[in-house]
Amino acid sequence: MPQLPVIIPMIVTGLLVGSMIRNAGRGISKKKIGGASVLSGLLNGVEAYVANLLIPQPTSTFIRAGSTVSFTVPAAARQSSELVFYISSVLAGILIPLVIVGIAMLYSRGRQGGEQVEEEVETQNLDSEK
């Protein structure tokens, strides 16, 4: 089974983070993050499908006591595993940007709260010096 493709979700995540940096004061809407995540998942599923079409599935080969035995996986089992692969590719494509940007948003909210507390402490220190 081939590995899950992750290049498209990483590119979409980079675009989202760049958009967040560019609009630092305004933030980014949850609809934009959700839409970008869904688009990333769909593109990742398409990439997995195309890669699976272009790269043929290898047949399993066993070497036993000087003889080589080759067999192919039954069509039903192969289709089932391909479907699982496509679904997991779509889910990975959705989750990678969503989790990375979500953690960044939570972290930035936590930092903003900490900065407000520090500003209040500094203001109280300045008031007490007077």
Average pLDDT over residues 25-35: 82
Reported as a single tens digit per residue, the pLDDT across 79-103 is: 778 888 899 999 999 999 999 988 8
Length of the chain: 130
Within a 10 A sphere around the Cβ of 51, how many other Cβ atoms?
Answer: 14
* CA 90 remoteness from chain centre: 10
- pLDDT of amino acid 43: 95
pLDDT in tens, 48-60: 999 888 886 665 5
Beta bridge pairs of residue 15: none
Distance from C-alpha of 30 to C-alpha of 20, rounded to nearest angstrom = 12
How far apart, in whole angstroms, are the C-alpha atoms of residue 50 and residue 28? 32
- Closest by CA to 29, choosing from 114, 107, 101, is 101
